[in-house]
Chain A
Amino acid sequence: MNFPILSSLILLPTIGALFIFFVRSSNSQYQSSKYVALFITLANFFLSLYLWIVFDKSIVNFQFVEEREWISGFVNYKVGVDGISILFILLTTFIIPICVITVNSTIKNRLKDFLIAILILETFMIGVFCSLDLVVFYLFFEAGLIPMFLIIGIWGGERRVYSAFKFFLYTLLGSVLMLVAIISIYWITGTTDVIKLYDLGIEAKYQNLLWLAFFSSFAVKTPMWPVHTWLPDAHVEAPTAGSVLLAAILLKMAGYGFIRFSLGLFPDASLYFVPLVYTLSLIAIIYTSLVALMQEDMKKLIAYSSVAHMGFVTLGIFTMTQQGIEGSIFQMISHGLVSAALFLCVGVVYDRLHTRLINRYGGLVSIMPKYAIVFMVFTLGALGLPGTSGFIGEFLVLMGAFKKNILVATIASLGVILGAAYMLWLYKRIIFGKLINEDVKKMVDLKRFEIVTLWLLVLPIIFFGFYPEPLINSIEVSVANMIDINDLDKINKLALGE
């Protein structure tokens, strides 16, 4: 395969952004720049779909690998995909066009700049998921901060400046230690090439510190309790499309990083720190669920639910079992779809009433029935009802956890109940109840483009809920290989004293 398909995936959005940048701006051309963006992102989606189809799911190795000399004698630009990363690329290219469609209603000023920011962000996000070199990964991982900072800061709500700064500085602080770790790895092993590092392995005596350095970065980005506080702020202030991107894709970078780097490069250290991750994940699941129950602001509630869901993800990853890791990946994809959808739903009512306070709404079912239906699906998806994609992920994670530690699994299961509580209560307060407020009565039901975007998300959530095979199929071999390469099974057994 000579055509550099991954590099095209990475570059295409940037080319689109440049194109939009150089088209002269005037109000009449706002629309045309939107179509350009839509066209580019859709092209990217189909390209990645094609990638998924031609991707050979039975092969263990990375595929479509491209390698080019970059910093001479030091770092090579190397990209490639395996069964895990390809799903995240697909998720990214699927969510971005939806964001582009939503800009219609949410972005009132500087539409062109917004589209450029989103397209640039897409480049970086795809780059994160397919880079096979630590330095290249770091580059993309960090670079994403710039467009996101601007998206929150320029198009955000009232406290946008505070939120944008908090987001930027938290994440930057987390990731500088990762840079030290990456450079140290280079000096310890002589390479930053991930595939070579998988083969070489890193001596156990270095692993713990390196693991902590990577952890500091991913924990902030995930976000894990207690460094999650930037997320509710960022979510609340970001425009709808920004929240969607943040929840659906940016958070997944960290989960992906945990699997690819923490588990893949430092298996001994990962095992050593399992109790730490379990504890933080459980606190995240229980505590943030309780916090979510008390929220008055819809976006904040969903933001806290994101933290809880990501708690399941980290829990699953560090069970280090086939089911647990598969479940985490599934949960990330599913959460990507569901949380994106929920933020879009919030965006829909926010556009009409300009408030996110839950108690300002109520009784929407009688005036917005179409909205009530899709919102129902997403609520059920978020609480993990069987038949939605959310269920498969949580179920697999809990299965993996039960295999390892029954206490942990039991506590985590409580989180599922709490999740049902806050989501259903949210649904009840918004959709049911009496229609009291006059301005709520005037709200109109979903417009055409809203129906399109929301149903585009309903379909995969239900489809993968009933038929998870395509996703599981794609990740199965890669996860098994990951466990295999690093002898996670053996390490596990040793630890359990078997």
Chain B
Amino acid sequence: MENLQLIIPELFISIMIMFLLIFGVFKKNSSQLVYNLTTVSLVAALALIINLDTQIQSSLFNNSYNIDSLAKFMKILLILSGIFVMLSSSKYVQISKINKIEYPILILCSILGMMVMISSNDLIVFYMGLELQSLALYVLASFNRDNLLSTESGLKYFVLSALSSGLLLYGCSLIYGFSETTNFNQIMINTKEIEYGLTFGIVFILVGLAFKISAVPFHMWAPDVYQGSPTSVTVFFALLPKIAALTVFIRFLYIPFYELGDQWQMIIIFLSIASMVFGAVAAIGQKNLKRLIAYSSISHMGYALAGLSTGTTQGVQSSITYITIYLVMNLAFFSCLFMLKRNDEYYENIDDLSGLSKNHPLLSLSLLVVLFSLAGIPPLAGFFAKFYIFVAVINEKMYFLAIVGLLATVIAAFYYLRIIKIIYFDPEKEKFESKHNLGLKFTLVASTFFILAYFIYPSGIVDIISQININ
């Protein structure tokens, strides 16, 4: 008999999905209630996960499901981001009339899929989790179905994602063919010798994963989907799938194919450099804030991949730190975006920010902090994120990667500065509403404070992450 206690959080969320679905169908006009219940159940799931004891690495179902310190940390990140996304976007969901009961339930489904991905130690389980989260995301992207852009983004995401899933599945089958197993640990044992088929398998799977975290050259969907989806879904896109995909990246590269590092290292380095540079250059001409943040997140994923490409524990830890800080920065950015509201209409063009600092000094200050942090200027959190990455990269003597990465930050600094210029140097426009709900305010204040005050005690997060066991 398996020890099901270890997957109580997953079980809990599954039960909540079914319960909320039935509850929502039978109770009229319960969409807001379901939304709040979803948030509450996420908090409960968070408590359950924190309660898990991961001192001893344990696995379930024939070693295909791993509950270890990596899974625990990533799930905490995942659920926490989920809670903050729910808190900050509740008003937006109401106003843009997408507060149907399905909306929070789909989010829960997607989170469940991601949890499965994070814990997976087997190609089949991993694929199952991936599809669960993707299916929910297709619907979410086109949730604002009367909006042309939204439906377009949903369809686009579906077609391209299906293609990448196909590639990924093909890679899985190749690996299965050459190693006679789907279990990660078993693959490691069975693949001591390099075979071409195996390399092809790795490449196909990496392509599929690169698509999920929108690394160049598999990024094409990101700008359109970010822009077209409702903002509350965009923030979800920007945060949660990245956590799950990065964890799978780590597991996939560092458990079954750790020995074959020279096979995949060049690929990751290429993905990393291409994403950093392309993300930085392409964002310069953007006019829409959501589109801009899509390119910016492409660039940020490049840095996270740079940490992974080192092939060392330190590199992985730096990537995890990077993604943690990235989440907070993006959360803060989107919270600011949610505040640009006037007469029940949300504004998302860069020009709408013109002269914001005169009417909304506090909001502009938060944006200033967030943008400088995204640009990686010390002493803000974003600088430390990049710093850890480069420490790991330079330790491996990968100077080229480090220098390209740092030059890309200078290019990227340009478009962040451009937003700051519009906020602070340009003439003012009409005021936005200054009343916001508590959850949104709390999200913004907490995340901005984290970014600002990170330098006072930078060891905290690093210490936690350094305890994560990868192999």
Q: State the A residues within 8 Å of B (CB).
A: 69-72, 74, 113, 135, 138-140, 142-143, 145-146, 149-150, 153-154, 160-161, 164-165, 168-169, 172-173, 176-177, 179-180, 183-184, 186-187
Given known contacts A153-B424, A168-B417, A71 and B410 CB-to-CB distance under 8 angstroms: no
CB of B65 closer than 8 Å to a CB of A: no
Q: Is the CB of A72 within 8 A of B462?
A: yes
- Which of B395, B413, B421 makes the CB contact (< 8 A) with A153? B421
Given known contacts A169-B413, A186-B391, A153 and B372 CB-to-CB distance under 8 angstroms: no
User: Residue-by-residue, is B385-398 near A (CB-CB < 8 Å gives 1, otherwise 0)?
Assistant: 00100110011000
Q: Which residues of A contact B459 (CB under 8 A)?
A: 69-72
A97–B170 Cα distance when bound, in Å, is 69
Q: Is the CB of A161 within 8 A of B421?
A: yes
Q: Is the CB of A146 within 8 A of B377?
A: yes
Q: Is the CB of A183 within 8 A of B391?
A: yes
A25–B403 Cα distance when bound, in Å, is 44
Q: Is the CB of B424 within 8 A of A187?
A: no
A72–B403 Cα distance when bound, in Å, is 25
Restricting to B415-456, which residues have a CB under 8 Å from any CB of A?
417, 420-421, 424-425, 455
Q: Looking across the interface, which residue of chain A has its beta carbon closest to that of B392?
A: A183
Q: Which residues of B contact A70 (CB under 8 A)?
A: 458-459
B163 to chain A, nearest CB (A): 37
- Which of A135, A139, A165, A183 makes the CB contact (< 8 A) with B421? A165
A211 to chain B, nearest CB (A): 16
A140–B391 Cα distance when bound, in Å, is 19
Q: Which residues of B contact A160 (CB under 8 A)?
A: 425
CB of B463 closer than 8 Å to a CB of A: yes
- Top 6 nearest A-B pairs (CB, nearest first) are A176-B406, A72-B459, A139-B378, A183-B394, A142-B378, A173-B410
Q: Looking across the interface, which residue of chain B has its beta carbon closest to that of A176?
A: B406
Q: Looking across the interface, which residue of chain A has its beta carbon closest to that of B372?
A: A146
Q: Is the CB of B395 within 8 A of A172?
A: no
A99 to chain B, nearest CB (A): 20
CB of B81 closer than 8 Å to a CB of A: no
- Which of B394, B424, B455 makes the CB contact (< 8 A) with A154? B424
Interface size on B, residues (CB 8 A): 31
Q: Is the CB of A169 within 8 A of B410?
A: yes
Q: Looking across the interface, which residue of chain B has its beta carbon closest to that of A152?
A: B425
- Which of B361, B379, B462 makes the CB contact (< 8 A) with A139? B379
Q: Is the CB of B425 within 8 A of A154?
A: yes
Q: Which residues of A contact B395 (CB under 8 A)?
A: 187
- Which of A172, A173, A184 makes the CB contact (< 8 A) with B394? A184
A138–B383 Cα distance when bound, in Å, is 11
CB of B402 closer than 8 Å to a CB of A: yes
Q: Which residues of B contact A180 (CB under 8 A)?
A: 390, 394, 399, 402-403, 406
Q: Which residues of A contact B377 (CB under 8 A)?
A: 142-143, 145-146, 172
CB of B127 closer than 8 Å to a CB of A: no
Q: Is the CB of A143 within 8 A of B406?
A: no
A361–B394 Cα distance when bound, in Å, is 56
A324 to chain B, nearest CB (A): 32
Q: Is the CB of B378 within 8 A of A176?
A: no
Which of B361, B391, B462 has the most CB atoms of chain A within a 10 A radius of its CB?
B391
Q: Is the CB of B458 within 8 A of A71?
A: yes
Q: Is the CB of A176 within 8 A of B414?
A: no
A168–B420 Cα distance when bound, in Å, is 12
Q: Looking across the interface, which residue of chain B has its beta carbon closest to that of A180?
A: B402
A297–B154 Cα distance when bound, in Å, is 58
A-B contact sample (18 more), CB < 8 A, given A71-B384, A146-B372: A71-B459, A113-B361, A135-B387, A139-B379, A142-B378, A143-B378, A145-B377, A150-B424, A154-B424, A161-B425, A169-B414, A172-B410, A173-B407, A176-B406, A176-B409, A177-B406, A180-B403, A183-B390
A149–B423 Cα distance when bound, in Å, is 13
A74–B420 Cα distance when bound, in Å, is 33
A360 to chain B, nearest CB (A): 27
Q: Which residues of A contact B391 (CB under 8 A)?
A: 74, 183, 186
A172–B409 Cα distance when bound, in Å, is 9
B125 to chain A, nearest CB (A): 36
- Interchain Cβ contacts under 8 Å between A and B, 9 examples: A71-B384, A143-B378, A146-B377, A165-B421, A169-B410, A176-B407, A180-B399, A183-B394, A184-B394
A143–B378 Cα distance when bound, in Å, is 5
A214–B394 Cα distance when bound, in Å, is 16
A375–B424 Cα distance when bound, in Å, is 35
Q: Which residues of B contact A186 (CB under 8 A)?
A: 391
Q: Which residues of A contact B399 (CB under 8 A)?
A: 180, 184
Q: Is the CB of A71 within 8 A of B462?
A: yes
Q: Which residues of B contact A165 (CB under 8 A)?
A: 414, 417, 421
A164–B421 Cα distance when bound, in Å, is 9
Q: Looking across the interface, which residue of chain B has its beta carbon closest to that of A150?
A: B424
Q: Is the CB of A177 within 8 A of B403?
A: yes
A66–B413 Cα distance when bound, in Å, is 34
Q: Is the CB of A153 within 8 A of B406?
A: no
A180 to chain B, nearest CB (A): 5
Q: Is the CB of A176 within 8 A of B410?
A: yes
Q: Which residues of A contact B414 (CB under 8 A)?
A: 165, 169
A390–B395 Cα distance when bound, in Å, is 46
Q: Which residues of B contact A143 (CB under 8 A)?
A: 377-379
A184–B395 Cα distance when bound, in Å, is 7
Q: Which residues of A contact B402 (CB under 8 A)?
A: 180, 183
Q: Which residues of A contact B413 (CB under 8 A)?
A: 168-169, 172
Which of A69, A71, A169 has the most CB atoms of chain B within a 10 A radius of its CB?
A71
B403 to chain A, nearest CB (A): 6
